[in-house]
Amino acid sequence: MGKVQIYEPFKGGLPPVIPYFSDVWRRREFISAYARSELRAQNFGSFFGQLWLILNPLLLALVYYLLIIVIRGSTGSERFAHLTAGLFLFYFITNSMIAGSKSITSGGKLVLNSAFPRLILPISATVIAFFKFLPTFFVLGFIHLILGLPIGPELFYLIPVLLASIIFALGTAILTSILNVYFRDTKNFLPYFTRALLYLSPILYTAEQLQPALKPISYLNPLFTFIGAWTEILIDGAAPTLANFVTIFSWAFVLLIIALFMFMRREREFALRI
């Protein structure tokens, strides 16, 4: 006889937290299998599929690099390395955000016909975005060696910055998954939103080049500190300040907690709105 799952009412719209996350953890193999199947569907397993994941941001970096040369007349190999490093991290976070927005609505049959914590769908979207991000490390390493960029113990600071970026990306995936259930135009709006974030983040310019009058951008745009710390470690070999670490982990955990709270309160309504 198959296992029967019974949904009981819970106070305040929230399920029991520990059993809920225990159930999510028990389904980690499903998350892995689901992510792999989605990657295969996107030709990630093929050579050219993985090559395009690298070529796309590289070509964008080249286009923006030419734009900077035309507009500002400034050149330099470090400028191209800065663009490339910033774009790779930027697209990991925004790809997670965009994929997360479609995770619940595109998994409508699963939501309607299966009993499981719906949280695993935006988690899977972030896992997929991360696996797409992994091949870019080889490109960053190659650029780093060719250009003779600093190699030292400061590079280990990339680990906590990447960890905070993963947490933040997961938070954005969960939040946009909720928004797209209630407002189906969210997925159509996100490309414009992410393009604005691109121009407001220190990718086409460095954090030091931001005009004093535009300083509020660094406080209002969470990606500003993430990408600024990431590129400073890679390009300048500079360790992030304590304030930078506090900022990025505060953004990451606050967003994740808010997104989880909203998701768990609304999860049972998803089947009625898909």
- What is residue 132's predicted lDDT score, i.e. its pLDDT? 86
More confident residue, 187 or 46: 187
Residue pLDDT, tens place only, 136-155: 888 888 888 888 888 889 99
Q: Is 182 exposed, middle or buried (0-12, 13-18, 19+ CB in 10 A)?
A: exposed
CA proximity to 28, closest of 112, 105, 127: 127
pLDDT of the residue at 12: 47
Q: How far apart are CA 199 and CA 64, in angstroms?
A: 11
- State the pLDDT at residue 225: 92
How far the first Cα of the chain sits from its last, in Å, is: 30
DSSP string, 67-118: HHHHHH----HHHHHHHHHHHHHHHHHHHHHHHHHHHHHHTHHHHHH--S-T
Question: What is residue 215's predicted lDDT score, i.e. its pLDDT?
Answer: 79
pLDDT, tens only, 11-51: 446 788 888 899 999 988 888 888 888 877 766 666 666 67
194-209 pLDDT, tens digit per residue, is: 999 988 899 888 877 7
pTM above 0.75, yes or no: yes
Find where tokens 């938070």 sit.
171
In this predicted model, what pLDDT tens digit does every residue of 206-252 receive, in sequence order? Answer: 877 777 777 777 778 999 999 999 999 998 888 999 999 999 999 99
Q: What are phi and psi of 98, to 5 degrees?
A: -70, -45
Our measurement of the distance from residue 68's CA atom to the centroid of its chain's CA atoms, rounded to an integer in Å, reads: 26
Nearest alpha-carbon partner for 101 in 75, 129, 118, 122:
122
Euclidean distance between CA atoms 254 and 95, whole angstroms: 20
pLDDT tens digit string along 56-98? 777 777 777 777 666 566 666 788 888 889 989 999 999 999 9
Q: What gap in Å lies between CA 58 and CA 60, rounded to an integer?
A: 5
Query: What would the mean pLDDT of 244-263 be, rounded to a whole number?
Result: 95
pLDDT tens digits for 100-127?
Answer: 998 888 876 777 777 778 899 999 999 9
Nearest-CA neighbor of 240 among 253, 254, 227?
Answer: 227
Query: Which pLDDT score, from 0 to 100, does residue 137 have?
Result: 86
Closest CA to 89 of 242, 263, 258, 235: 235
